[in-house]
Structure 1
C-alpha cells in the first residue's frame, strides 16, 4: 500500500491519501480541510478516490469530509459511533476553534474493533482505541506494518484527554494494549507531526515508555 501525507488546516493535521498499487483505488483518511489541496494530491498520484475514512470526530480531522465525499460521490466510513456527538456538534466545534462554517454529515458506516476496510485489494484492520475521544479508531495495514493512529499517539507524546469524554487512563490502555502489541517495527502516521515507530515510543515516549525496574 502506498501513502502520501497531506498537512491540512492551521493545525497542520496529517490527512493521508492511501491507495492500492494494483487497482489505484484510494482512501482519504481524516480530511480536516483544505480539500482543494487534497484533490490536487489525488490528481497528481493518478488514483481514484473510493472512500473517506475517519479516525475520530474532531474538527481538524473531519472538517472537509462533507464536501469531499459529496463531490467524489463516495461513502464516509468511521469512526466508532461513540464519536457521533462530536460530528453532530460540528457547528459548536467551528465556533470554538475559529473555523468558518463547516458542512455537517453522517457517516455511512460506523466502525468497531475487528472490522476491516478494503482499499482496492488491500485490507485495513480497525482497532478501537478510545481515550482521546470515546470513539477513536486506528487503521492498520498489516502487510506493510503501517498504522494510521490519528490523535492517539505522537512522536514523543500522546493525545489530549481534556476534551469532553476524553480519559487519560483509557488512552494509555489503548496504546499499551491495543497498539504496542502489533510490534516494535510498526511505523505510524500520527494526526500531527512526524512519523515514528511503536518501538521508538516504547523506548522513549515519557507517557507510555516501558517501565523500568
Structure 2
C-alpha cells in the first residue's frame, strides 16, 4: 500500500490518498476541501479512484466529498452511521466555522467495526473509534503497518471532545483498547499534523501514555 498526504483548507487537514501499487486503485480519505487540488494530485500520480472514505462527519474532513464523487463517479463510504447527524447538518457547520457552503451528500454506505474494504489487491480494515465523534472510524492497512486515524490521536495530543456528543473517556478507551493493541510499530496518519507511531504515543503522549 502506498500513500500521499495533501493538507487542505485553512485547518490543514490531512486528506490522504492510499492506493494499491499493483493496480493504482486508490481511496480518497477525508477530502476536507479544495477538490481541484486533490484532483490534480490524483492525475499527477496516475491513480484510479475507487471510493471516498470518511473517518467522521466534521466539515474539514468531508467538505469536498460530493464534488469528487461526482467528478470520478465513485461512492462515498463511511463513517459509522452514528455520525449521520453531522453529515445532515453540513450547512450549519459551514456557518459555524466560516466556510463557504458545500454540496450536501449522503454516504452510499455506512461502516461497522470489523468490516474490510478491498482496494485492488490490498485490504483496509475498519476500526470504530468513537469519542471525538460517536461514529468515528479508522482505516488500517495491516500489510503496510499503516493506519489513517482521523482526529482520534495525534503526535503528542488526542482529539477534541468538547463538541456535541464528544466523549473523552470513550476516546481514551478507543485509543487504548482498539489502537494500541495493533502494535508499537504501526505508523499512523492523523487528521492534522505530522505522522507518528502507536508505540511513540503509548510511551510519550501525556494523554494516553503508559503510567508503569
Q: Give the shorter-chain TM-score range.
A: over 0.9
Task: Give the match for residue 163 of structure 1.
Answer: 163
Task: Give the match for residue 180 of structure 1.
Answer: 180
Length, aligned pairs only: 212
Structure 1: gaps spanning 5 or more residues: none
Task: Give the match for residue 71 of structure 1.
Answer: 71
TM-score (ref. length: structure 2): 0.99
Q: Take 1:180 and 1:112, find their aligned partners in 2: how far apart are those partners? A: 19
User: Deviations for 1:27-58, whole angstroms, at most 9, x for unmatched residues?
Assistant: 10000001111001101111111100000000
Task: Give the match for residue 109 of structure 1.
Answer: 109
Task: Give the match for residue 18 of structure 1.
Answer: 18
* Partner SS state of residue 7, structure 1: strand
* Partner SS state of residue 139, structure 2: strand
Do structure 1's residue 30 and structure 2's residue 30 form an aligned pair? yes
Task: Give the match for residue 89 of structure 1.
Answer: 89
* Partner SS state of residue 143, structure 1: coil
Task: Give the match for residue 60 of structure 2.
Answer: 60
TM-score (ref. length: structure 1): 0.99
User: Deviations for 1:89-112, whole angstroms, at most 9, x for unmatched residues?
Assistant: 000000000000111000011001
Task: Give the match for residue 119 of structure 1.
Answer: 119
Q: Take 2:211 and 2:119, find their aligned partners in 1: how far apart are those partners? A: 37
* Partner SS state of residue 60, structure 2: helix
Do structure 1's residue 152 and structure 2's residue 178 form an aligned pair? no
For the aligned residue pairs, the C-alpha RMSD in angstroms reads 0.5
Q: Take 1:208 and 1:157, find their aligned partners in 2: how far apart are those partners? A: 9
Q: Take 1:133 and 1:72, find their aligned partners in 2: how far apart are those partners? A: 28
Q: Take 2:76 and 2:119, find their aligned partners in 1: how far apart are those partners? A: 13
User: Deviations for 1:134-177, whole angstroms, at most 9, x for unmatched residues?
Assistant: 00000000001100000000000000000010000000000000
